Structure 1
C-alpha cells in the first residue's frame, strides 16, 4: 500500500502539497510535480494526481505542490515564486520522517508548471536581492518540462497575436514593455544556462503552448553549454503528456529511468 499525506508548508489554504510514498524500504528518490493552468486559481494540483499515483507505484516518492495562483490573495508575482521555493524547501522537514533521498530530486512540471520547474532549478544556491529573496536549499538533480512555457515574452506575444488577454500579464503584473525586468527574472529562457540536466518533452500538436517554445529554448540552452535533451512527440497534444494511459506517458517514465540510471552511475 502506498501512503498519501496532505501537508501544509504555509498558512494560506493553497500553501500545501500532497506527498505520496511508495511501498518500499529504504530511502526513496523524489519527484516533485508542479501542475499547469497558466498559473490561474481555477486550476489545481489534482490535475497531477494520476501521474503521481503512477510514479509512486513505480517506486518514486512524489510531492505534488500547490501554490497561490492568479485570482487568489498573494498569487502571481512574487507570491507564486516564493511559494514554490518554500514548498520544495519544506522537504527538508519531511526527509527523516518519510525517508526521502534528497540527493535524488527531479522536478517535473507541466505547462505553466514546466515554467516553474525550470525557474526553480535556476535558483539553487543563489541568494537573490530581488523581490523574491528566497534561496532554494535542495539540490535539483534534473528537470523534466512537459509542454513547458519556457519563454514568457514569446508566449505573451503569441497570445497578443491571437487577440487574447494574456494570462502572463496577470501573472507577472504587466506586459513585457511595462515590467521588463520581471520577465528577465522569471522567464527560463532568459536565465540560461541553468547548469542542471534538463529534458524537454513536447507534443507537435500542442495548441496551448506551441512546440516552438521548447525547440528554441533547447537551441539556446545547447549554445550556452547546458545538458539538455529535447523529445518532440508527433501526433501528441497538450494534455497527453500527463495522461498515464497515453503512449506519450512512456516518454516521461523512460526519461525518469534514464535520469535514475545516470544518477547511480
Structure 2
C-alpha cells in the first residue's frame, strides 16, 4: 500500500508501534507510540521537504481505530496515562474497514464465542474498564472537526460494515465533515490491495483530500 502511494508521488510514512503481547503494547503504549511516530515528522521535514500542513492519516482495520483516535488528539489534547501530545495537525483521515466502535466490536466477538482482541488491547471488557473504551473508541470521540472518509467493503467478514455506517450517522448528527463509501463485492483486505479495483477507489478519495 505505502509503496504504491510513494510511486504515485506521495511522501509516505509507514509507522510501527508496540502491539499486544509486546512489552508496553496495548494500553497505553500503543497510543504513545503512534503520537511519537507522527511527531517525528518534525525531525524529517527539512531533509525531505515535507509540508506538514497537509498530513493525512490512513489506517486499516485496527489501524483505522488508531488513525481516528490520533486525529481526535488535535483538539482533545493529552490522554490520561500518556505523557506526550500530538504536535502535528492532521488535515484528514481515511479509515479503511476500521474498527470504529470498540464496544460493539467486543460484543461481536463475544457473540461469536471468541476471546476478543479488543479486550486484550484495552486490558478488560467494557464492564471492567469502561473509561478506556470511552477514551479509545472513535465513535465516542466525535466530533473530531477534521475531514474524514470511511471506506468499507460490504463483504467484510472481519469488521462488520455496520460499524462504519453507525459511526458515519453519529458523525453527521454532530456536524462533522465525513464521507462514507461502501464498496460492493469487496472484502476486508481488498481495500489495501493495490492490485484490486477497490484500491483505485481509495486512491481517488485520497486525491480529494489533497
TM range (shorter): over 0.9
The CA distance in 2 between the partners of 1:245 and 1:87, in whole Å, is 28
The size of the alignment, in residue pairs, is: 210
RMSD of Structure 2 on Structure 1 (CA): 0.8
Q: 1:244 aligns with which of 175, 194, 203?
A: 194
Q: Quick check: 1:229 aligned with 2:179?
A: yes
Contact 2:151 2:182 in 1 (8 A): yes
The CA distance in 1 between the partners of 2:152 and 2:79, in whole Å, is 33
Partner of 2:128: 178
The CA distance in 1 between the partners of 2:23 and 2:45, in whole Å, is 30
Contact 1:127 1:133 in 2 (8 A): no
1:132 is displaced (CA, Å) by: 1.8
Stretches of structure 1 that go unaligned for 5 or more consecutive residues are 1-50, 261-265
Contact 1:74 1:80 in 2 (8 A): yes
Partner of 1:46: none
Q: 2:34 aligns with which of 56, 63, 84?
A: 84
Higher relative contact order by CA 8 Å / sep ≥ 6: 1 or 2?
2
Structure 1-normalised TM-score?
A: 0.78
SS at match of 1:123: helix
Q: What are the Cα deviations for residues 99-136 of structure 1, in whole angstroms up to 9, with x where unaligned?
A: 11101110000000000000000001543261124311
Partner of 1:139: 89
**Superposed, which structure 2 residues align to 1:4-19 within 5 Å?**
none
Partner of 1:123: 73
Partner of 2:51: 101
The CA distance in 2 between the partners of 1:256 and 1:126, in whole Å, is 25
Contact 2:79 2:135 in 1 (8 A): no
The CA distance in 2 between the partners of 1:129 and 1:116, in whole Å, is 14
SS at match of 2:45: helix
Structure 2-normalised TM-score?
A: 0.98
The CA distance in 1 between the partners of 2:207 and 2:137, in whole Å, is 28
The CA distance in 2 between the partners of 1:217 and 1:85, in whole Å, is 23
More helix by share: 2
Contact 2:65 2:98 in 1 (8 A): yes
Stretches of structure 2 that go unaligned for 5 or more consecutive residues are none
Partner of 2:99: 149
Partner of 2:5: 55
The CA distance in 1 between the partners of 2:94 and 2:204, in whole Å, is 11
Moved over 3 A (4+): none
Partner of 1:71: 21
Q: 2:145 aligns with which of 183, 186, 195?
A: 195
The CA distance in 2 between the partners of 1:246 and 1:115, in whole Å, is 23
More strand by share: 1
The CA distance in 1 between the partners of 2:108 and 2:82, in whole Å, is 27
Residues 133 and 126 of structure 1: CA distance in aligned 2, closer, same or farther (over 3 Å): farther
